[in-house]
Amino acid sequence: AQTVTQSQPEMSVQEAETVTLSCTYDTSESDYYLFWYKQPPSRQMILVIRQEAYKQQNATENRFSVNFQKAAKSFSLKISDSQLGDAAMYFCAYFMDSNYQLIWGAGTKLIIKP
Amino acid sequence: EPEVTQTPSHQVTQMGQEVILRCVPISNHLYFYWYRQILGQKVEFLVSFYNNEISEKSEIFDDQFSVERPDGSNFTLKIRSTKLEDSAMYFCATQTHNTAQYFGPGTRLTVT
Protein backbone atom coordinates (compact mmCIF):
# COMPACT_ATOMS: atom_id res chain seq x y z
CA ALA A 1 0.00 0.00 0.00
CA GLN A 2 1.13 3.52 -0.72
CA THR A 3 2.14 5.72 2.19
CA VAL A 4 3.25 9.34 2.54
CA THR A 5 5.51 10.53 5.36
CA GLN A 6 6.17 14.07 6.48
CA SER A 7 8.80 13.86 9.18
CA GLN A 8 8.68 17.50 10.29
CA PRO A 9 5.58 18.23 12.42
CA GLU A 10 6.59 21.89 12.62
CA MET A 11 9.04 24.23 10.90
CA SER A 12 9.76 27.89 11.42
CA VAL A 13 11.48 30.39 9.18
CA GLN A 14 12.29 34.09 9.26
CA GLU A 15 10.28 36.24 6.88
CA ALA A 16 12.04 36.60 3.49
CA GLU A 17 14.15 33.50 4.10
CA THR A 18 13.92 30.14 2.34
CA VAL A 19 12.50 26.99 3.90
CA THR A 20 12.28 23.39 2.70
CA LEU A 21 9.57 20.97 3.79
CA SER A 22 10.27 17.25 3.45
CA CYS A 23 8.07 14.49 2.12
CA THR A 24 8.83 10.88 1.34
CA TYR A 25 6.49 8.29 -0.06
CA ASP A 26 6.38 4.61 -0.67
CA THR A 27 5.01 3.05 -3.82
CA SER A 28 5.82 0.28 -6.27
CA GLU A 29 4.16 2.15 -9.12
CA SER A 30 5.98 4.16 -11.76
CA ASP A 31 3.17 6.43 -12.91
CA TYR A 32 1.61 8.73 -10.30
CA TYR A 33 1.21 12.34 -9.23
CA LEU A 34 2.44 14.23 -6.20
CA PHE A 35 0.99 17.38 -4.70
CA TRP A 36 1.56 19.93 -2.03
CA TYR A 37 -1.53 21.49 -0.49
CA LYS A 38 -1.63 24.42 1.90
CA GLN A 39 -4.19 24.68 4.70
CA PRO A 40 -4.29 28.09 6.41
CA PRO A 41 -6.22 28.66 9.66
CA SER A 42 -9.43 29.04 7.63
CA ARG A 43 -8.99 25.28 6.92
CA GLN A 44 -9.49 25.73 3.20
CA MET A 45 -7.34 23.24 1.26
CA ILE A 46 -5.39 25.09 -1.42
CA LEU A 47 -3.32 23.46 -4.15
CA VAL A 48 0.25 24.77 -4.11
CA ILE A 49 2.03 22.67 -6.70
CA ARG A 50 1.83 19.36 -8.57
CA GLN A 51 4.38 17.02 -10.08
CA GLU A 52 3.83 14.20 -12.56
CA ALA A 53 6.14 11.27 -11.85
CA TYR A 54 7.00 10.80 -15.52
CA LYS A 55 8.39 14.33 -15.73
CA GLN A 56 12.03 14.72 -14.81
CA GLN A 57 11.81 18.49 -14.57
CA ASN A 58 10.94 19.81 -11.13
CA ALA A 59 7.72 21.81 -10.95
CA THR A 60 7.83 25.50 -10.08
CA GLU A 61 5.09 27.96 -9.21
CA ASN A 62 6.39 31.44 -8.47
CA ARG A 63 8.14 31.23 -5.04
CA PHE A 64 7.31 27.54 -4.66
CA SER A 65 9.39 24.78 -6.17
CA VAL A 66 9.88 21.09 -5.59
CA ASN A 67 12.83 18.77 -5.52
CA PHE A 68 11.49 15.51 -6.91
CA GLN A 69 13.81 12.56 -6.52
CA LYS A 70 11.96 9.60 -7.98
CA ALA A 71 14.51 6.93 -7.15
CA ALA A 72 14.71 8.11 -3.56
CA LYS A 73 10.91 8.60 -3.42
CA SER A 74 11.37 12.07 -2.09
CA PHE A 75 9.32 15.17 -2.87
CA SER A 76 10.36 18.26 -0.92
CA LEU A 77 8.83 21.72 -1.18
CA LYS A 78 10.98 24.83 -1.19
CA ILE A 79 9.44 28.18 -0.36
CA SER A 80 11.62 31.14 -1.28
CA ASP A 81 11.24 34.65 0.12
CA SER A 82 8.83 33.45 2.81
CA GLN A 83 5.91 35.74 3.53
CA LEU A 84 3.63 36.00 6.55
CA GLY A 85 0.77 34.69 4.39
CA ASP A 86 2.66 31.44 3.88
CA ALA A 87 1.99 30.44 7.49
CA ALA A 88 -0.17 27.32 7.30
CA MET A 89 -0.23 23.55 7.49
CA TYR A 90 1.35 21.99 4.42
CA PHE A 91 0.29 18.56 3.28
CA CYS A 92 2.06 16.32 0.83
CA ALA A 93 -0.22 13.97 -1.12
CA TYR A 94 0.11 11.12 -3.60
CA PHE A 95 -2.34 10.16 -6.32
CA MET A 96 -2.55 7.28 -8.73
CA ASP A 97 -5.29 7.09 -11.35
CA SER A 98 -6.30 3.53 -10.52
CA ASN A 99 -6.67 4.29 -6.81
CA TYR A 100 -9.11 7.18 -7.20
CA GLN A 101 -7.94 8.84 -4.00
CA LEU A 102 -5.34 11.14 -2.57
CA ILE A 103 -3.09 9.59 0.06
CA TRP A 104 -1.97 12.18 2.58
CA GLY A 105 0.96 12.89 4.81
CA ALA A 106 0.37 14.05 8.37
CA GLY A 107 1.26 17.65 7.56
CA THR A 108 3.91 20.18 8.55
CA LYS A 109 2.97 23.34 10.38
CA LEU A 110 4.94 26.26 8.94
CA ILE A 111 5.50 29.27 11.19
CA ILE A 112 6.78 32.52 9.70
CA LYS A 113 8.65 34.80 12.10
CA PRO A 114 8.39 38.51 11.28
CA GLU B 1 -11.83 31.30 -11.71
CA PRO B 2 -14.26 28.39 -11.22
CA GLU B 3 -14.35 26.91 -7.76
CA VAL B 4 -15.93 24.13 -5.78
CA THR B 5 -18.60 25.28 -3.36
CA GLN B 6 -19.98 23.52 -0.31
CA THR B 7 -23.02 24.08 1.88
CA PRO B 8 -23.57 24.51 4.70
CA SER B 9 -20.32 25.93 6.02
CA HIS B 10 -21.18 24.72 9.51
CA GLN B 11 -23.75 22.13 10.60
CA VAL B 12 -24.61 21.31 14.18
CA THR B 13 -26.68 18.18 14.70
CA GLN B 14 -27.68 15.82 17.47
CA MET B 15 -26.38 12.29 17.67
CA GLY B 16 -28.57 9.91 15.69
CA GLN B 17 -29.82 12.55 13.27
CA GLU B 18 -29.32 12.45 9.52
CA VAL B 19 -27.25 15.11 7.78
CA ILE B 20 -26.73 15.91 4.12
CA LEU B 21 -23.67 17.82 3.02
CA ARG B 22 -23.77 19.41 -0.41
CA CYS B 23 -21.11 20.19 -2.96
CA VAL B 24 -21.28 21.92 -6.31
CA PRO B 25 -18.33 20.75 -8.44
CA ILE B 26 -16.50 22.75 -11.06
CA SER B 27 -18.66 22.40 -14.15
CA ASN B 28 -16.50 20.27 -16.45
CA HIS B 29 -15.13 18.03 -13.71
CA LEU B 30 -15.95 14.35 -13.83
CA TYR B 31 -14.46 12.86 -10.67
CA PHE B 32 -15.80 13.70 -7.25
CA TYR B 33 -14.45 12.94 -3.80
CA TRP B 34 -15.28 13.33 -0.15
CA TYR B 35 -12.57 13.59 2.49
CA ARG B 36 -12.78 14.36 6.17
CA GLN B 37 -10.39 15.86 8.66
CA ILE B 38 -10.87 15.52 12.38
CA LEU B 39 -9.44 18.61 14.09
CA GLY B 40 -5.67 18.36 14.39
CA GLN B 41 -5.48 15.11 12.47
CA LYS B 42 -4.64 13.80 9.04
CA VAL B 43 -6.96 14.14 6.05
CA GLU B 44 -8.85 10.89 5.46
CA PHE B 45 -10.32 9.67 2.21
CA LEU B 46 -13.97 8.64 2.32
CA VAL B 47 -15.19 7.97 -1.20
CA SER B 48 -14.67 8.70 -4.88
CA PHE B 49 -17.43 8.91 -7.47
CA TYR B 50 -17.30 8.77 -11.25
CA ASN B 51 -19.88 8.16 -13.94
CA ASN B 52 -22.66 8.09 -11.35
CA GLU B 53 -21.18 5.34 -9.26
CA ILE B 54 -18.71 4.85 -6.45
CA SER B 55 -15.19 4.14 -7.73
CA GLU B 56 -13.50 3.58 -4.42
CA LYS B 57 -14.41 3.85 -0.75
CA SER B 58 -12.50 3.60 2.49
CA GLU B 59 -13.23 1.57 5.61
CA ILE B 60 -14.68 4.70 7.19
CA PHE B 61 -17.38 4.81 4.50
CA ASP B 62 -19.70 2.24 6.04
CA ASP B 63 -23.43 1.70 5.63
CA GLN B 64 -24.16 4.95 7.47
CA PHE B 65 -22.71 6.92 4.57
CA SER B 66 -24.02 7.38 1.06
CA VAL B 67 -23.31 9.65 -1.88
CA GLU B 68 -25.28 10.69 -4.88
CA ARG B 69 -25.49 13.24 -7.64
CA PRO B 70 -29.24 13.59 -7.89
CA ASP B 71 -29.59 16.43 -10.38
CA GLY B 72 -26.34 16.31 -12.31
CA SER B 73 -24.89 19.27 -10.46
CA ASN B 74 -24.96 18.81 -6.68
CA PHE B 75 -22.86 16.02 -5.21
CA THR B 76 -24.09 15.05 -1.77
CA LEU B 77 -22.80 13.10 1.20
CA LYS B 78 -25.44 11.72 3.55
CA ILE B 79 -24.74 10.42 7.01
CA ARG B 80 -27.80 8.48 8.12
CA SER B 81 -27.37 8.37 11.88
CA THR B 82 -24.59 10.63 13.09
CA LYS B 83 -22.23 9.66 15.89
CA LEU B 84 -20.06 11.90 18.06
CA GLU B 85 -16.98 10.66 16.22
CA ASP B 86 -18.38 11.96 12.92
CA SER B 87 -17.57 15.50 14.08
CA ALA B 88 -15.01 16.74 11.57
CA MET B 89 -14.40 19.00 8.63
CA TYR B 90 -15.78 17.42 5.45
CA PHE B 91 -14.19 18.41 2.18
CA CYS B 92 -15.51 17.86 -1.29
CA ALA B 93 -12.95 17.72 -4.10
CA THR B 94 -13.37 17.46 -7.83
CA GLN B 95 -11.13 16.91 -10.81
CA THR B 96 -11.10 16.19 -14.50
CA HIS B 97 -8.64 13.89 -16.28
CA ASN B 98 -4.99 14.44 -15.40
CA THR B 99 -5.56 17.46 -13.18
CA ALA B 100 -5.16 18.03 -9.51
CA GLN B 101 -8.09 17.74 -7.17
CA TYR B 102 -9.64 21.08 -6.29
CA PHE B 103 -11.20 21.40 -2.90
CA GLY B 104 -14.25 23.19 -1.61
CA PRO B 105 -14.03 25.30 1.54
CA GLY B 106 -15.35 22.46 3.68
CA THR B 107 -18.33 21.85 5.93
CA ARG B 108 -17.65 21.77 9.63
CA LEU B 109 -19.89 19.11 11.16
CA THR B 110 -20.45 19.16 14.90
CA VAL B 111 -22.36 16.27 16.45
CA THR B 112 -23.60 16.85 20.00
Total domains in the fold of chain B: 1
Contact B43 A102 (CB under 8 A): yes
Contact A35 B37 (CB under 8 A): no
Contact A43 B89 (CB under 8 A): yes
Q: What is the mean pLDDT of chain B?
A: 93
Residue A98, helix vs strand vs coil = helix
B107-111 and B10-13 beta bridge pairing: parallel
Domain extent at residue B11: 5-111
Residue A111: name the closest of A79, A73, A84, A80 by CA. Answer: A84
The whole-number pLDDT of residue A98 equals 78
Q: How far apart are CA A76 and CA A60, in angstroms?
A: 12
Give the nearest chain A residue to B54 (CA atoms): A100
CATH of the domain at B97: 2.60.40.10
Residue A87: name the closest of A50, A59, A114 by CA. Answer: A114
Give the nearest chain A residue to B48 (CA atoms): A100
Residue pLDDT, tens place only, A78-103: 999 999 999 999 999 999 877 788 99
The whole-number pLDDT of residue B88 equals 97
Q: How far apart are CA A76 and CA A67, in angstroms?
A: 5
Hey, what domains does chain A have and what are their CATH numbers?
Answer: 3-98 (2.60.40.10)
CB B36 within 8 A of CB B91: yes
